[in-house]
Amino acid sequence: MAQPITIGANSIAKIRNRFFLIVEVEAKTTGVEIDPVFGVRTTAQQAAALLRAGVMRTIFATSDPKPSPKKKVELKGVLFANGRIFKVFDVENSTDVSVLVRINLVTAQKLIRSGVRIIKVYRKPF
């Protein structure tokens, strides 16, 4: 039987001069599917070590990713990080990766009012 809790998309994002680990926690079992995304501030040294260990870099795009027969796209939430605002998408094809699309405050507020979640960011590095 598969583990009920796993790590999904995970990547390192450099936003301005700060680094963030963007990670999806997937909890799945009969009748339950929970998959929030979190941001965790890291130091430059932590980010470099994670990248050397094989963690991917977060993808920054200028437009929303489009689903296709081989690609599933899910809007996970709105991320406020280091003075920037992004829509965060989970994109699953041969890999599972986060894609960030920069937006303005008006767009973010509109999305939040429509029910899109705010992604929690742990702002102090561990």
Q: Dihedral sign, CA of 65, 69, 75, 79? A: negative
Tens of pLDDT, residue by residue over 105-117, are: 999 999 999 999 9
CA distance 38 to 41: 10
Could you tell me what percent of the chain has a pLDDT over 70?
Answer: 99
Q: Number of folded domains in the chain?
A: 1
Given its phi and psi angles, is residue 17 left (phi above 0), alpha (psi -120 to 50 degrees) or beta? alpha
Structural domain span for residue 42: 5-122
Taking residues 84-90, what's their average pLDDT? 97
Could you tell me what percent of the chain has a pLDDT over 90?
Answer: 90
pLDDT at 126: 86
CA distance 92 to 87: 16
CA distance 12 to 91: 15
pTM of the model: 0.91
CA distance 98 to 57: 9
Taking residues 11-32, what's their average pLDDT? 95
